[in-house]
Amino acid sequence: MKKAQLVLVPSPGIGHLVSTIEFAKRLLDQDESFLVTVLVIKAPFAPDIDTSNQSKIATIDTRIKYITLPQATPPDLEFLRSPENYVSTFMEAHKPHIRDAVINQVMSNKSVPIVGLVVDLFCSSMIEVAKELGISSYVYFASGAAFLGLLLYLPTRQDQVEFKETDPDLTLPCFVNPVPARIMPSVLLKDGGYICFENHARRFKEAKGIIVNTFTELESHAVSSFSGKDTPPVYPVGPLLNINGQSLMGSNLEEHGKIMRWLDDQPEKSVVFLCFGSIGRFREAQVKEIALGLEQSGHRFLWSIRKPPPEGQLKLPSDYSSYEEVLPNGFLERTKNIGMVCGWTPQMQVLAHKAVAGFVSHCGWNSVLESLWHGVPVLTWPMYAEQQTNAFEMVKDLGLAVEMTLDYRMRSNDIVLADKIAESVKCVMEEDSEIRTKVNAMSEISRKAVMDGGSSFAAFGDLIENMLS
């Protein structure tokens, strides 16, 4: 069997890293002829989490070779006015390390040719390294096709300046409905961030192909919008999910066991699950409104609360030592028979549990795909990154989620009030709603897409043929 080497360069964000590794695993499941190397970049923040990750990554799949790169000097904190620009600048500083690793640790195996350098959204500058070395480049896009279409639209705009929330609604080929400017990702509302993402999109067009973690049946409109344009071939190969694997965020087995035992004791489809990703957190005033809203709704709940890091520090949220410091007086006592408050949760396992019937989510793309896989309707509460457009697509274009808010931003002073939260929770927990029926149908479709004969399986076949050509 002829062998071929593939090098993957993910950015260090958990959602990007896990998704990229899942892509590598699925590729190897479908074609064993590949030798896959992942170049691991250490995060410029949360060194304790990062160190833990390094030891766990190598155990995920022994078919994959992992090379941890020396860390480049992080940019000055002035780049923090746009976190995305900060990360992109940090990734670009690793170009010499990427070049050295490819030349000295991958190309040294002269008997097996390298057929591709697969780079993450934030690592598009590595396409230049691929060109220098005479290697084909591919973009691995961990978000959805609609957001990809939005980015590819940026270089075509006549007014190449950041969006303003007061701009008129935008008609974009990748969305079914006109998109309100107020739900544009925060990065596109800032000068530094907008230019950064416009540059990424320009580089995408230099790649041999763009691999997207979605499936055609979910985003058929967005996927079809790429045909016949000056865009590399787009391969929808998802959903790529860490279904049975361990979390890279660390795990408190005792706490996780407690969560799963609590769910075991709840009636089937009776619990609303609230979880907001690895970065999501709320100010104390909003936490109190969520608590009051849950209490008013009368539904059982499992709520993951995370403590914000100190202002201005590049750290991830942590667990509270005592929830009483942010919750309303007496809340835990009043809800002890119907609710559980916890810290970090094993999200995939929770969504898979028969007791869970609704998911209040930040609408990160991995979370969207996980909820659909398990047939759990989402109540949208976007916070950062491209989550506002994800929420808009799910609610307005696809009818697969219930709207709580579409334009909330983690760093804003907006407050979603308890009455709105209670009303929305009741809505997402309706037993026979049209949305629940549609989500259950999409759950079956998502599972068929990755099976032999499914749309994503076929897209993987086309991608492999492109790589080996």
Confidence at residue 184, expressed as pLDDT on a 0 to 100 scale: 96
Give phi and psi for 140, each to the nearest 5: -100, 115
Percent of the chain with pLDDT over 90: 76
Question: Which residues, in sequence order, are CB contacts of 56 under 8 Å at separation 6+?
Answer: 246, 248
Query: Cα–Cα distance between 332 and 293 in angstroms, integer?
Result: 14
- Residue 250 pLDDT more than 80? no
Per-residue pLDDT tens digits for 320-344: 888 999 999 999 999 999 999 999 8
Query: Cα–Cα distance between 237 and 340 in angstroms, integer?
Result: 36
Burial of 259 (0-12, 13-18, 19+ CB in 10 A): buried
pLDDT band, very low/low/confident/very high, at 310 (cuts 50, 70, 90): confident
pLDDT band, very low/low/confident/very high, at 128 (cuts 50, 70, 90): very high
Query: Cα–Cα distance between 69 and 89 in angstroms, integer?
Result: 16
> Is 265 annotated in the active site?
no
Mean pLDDT check: name the lowest of 109-123, 261-275, 314-328: 314-328
For 232-277, give the secondary structure using H, E and C.
Answer: CCEEECCCCCCCCCCCCCCCCHHHHHHHHHHHHCCCCCCEEEEECC
Confidence at residue 52, expressed as pLDDT on a 0 to 100 scale: 46
Q: Is 20 in a helix, a strand, or coil?
A: helix
Query: Cα–Cα distance between 347 and 276 in angstroms, integer?
Result: 10
- Residue 88 pLDDT more than 60? yes
For the 4-238+451-468 domain, the top CATH level (class) is alpha beta
Compute CA 165 distance to the chain's CA centroid, rounded to the nearest angstrom.
24
> Can you give the pTM of this predicted structure?
0.95
CA dihedral 166, 308, 148, 444 (to 10 degrees): -120
Rounded mean pLDDT, 112-135: 96
Confidence at residue 248, expressed as pLDDT on a 0 to 100 scale: 55
Compute CA 445 distance to the chain's CA centroid, rounded to the nearest angstrom.
20
Residue that the structure tokens 């996980």 belong to: 370
pLDDT band, very low/low/confident/very high, at 141 (cuts 50, 70, 90): very high
Nearest to 297 by CA among 381, 418, 416, 403: 418
Q: Indicate the fold that domain 253-445 takes in CATH.
A: Rossmann fold (3.40.50)
Question: Which residues, in sequence order, are CB contacts of 207 under 8 Å at separation 6+?
Answer: 119, 127, 137, 138, 139, 232
- Residue 271 pLDDT more than 80? yes
> Is 16 annotated in the active site?
yes
Q: In the chain, how many H helices and how many E strands? A: 17, 13
Confidence at residue 56, expressed as pLDDT on a 0 to 100 scale: 65
CATH 3.40.50.2000: which residues of the chain?
A: 4-238+451-468, 253-445
- Residue 57 pLDDT more than 70? no
Give phi and psi for 421, each to the nearest 5: -65, -45
Percent of the chain with pLDDT over 70: 93
Q: Are 34 and 28 in contact (CB under 8 A)?
A: yes
Rounded mean pLDDT, 229-234: 90
Query: Cα–Cα distance between 463 and 366 in angstroms, integer?
Result: 22
Q: Which two tokens stand for residue 333?
A: 């006592």
Rounded mean pLDDT, 388-413: 96
Query: Cα–Cα distance between 143 and 368 in angstroms, integer?
Result: 10
Q: Are 272 and 360 in contact (CB under 8 A)?
A: yes
Query: Cα–Cα distance between 40 and 261 in angstroms, integer?
Result: 35
More confident residue, 77 or 44: 44
Query: Cα–Cα distance between 129 and 233 in angstroms, integer?
Result: 21
Rounded mean pLDDT, 428-438: 96
* Catalytic residue (one of 120, 353, 362, 374): 120
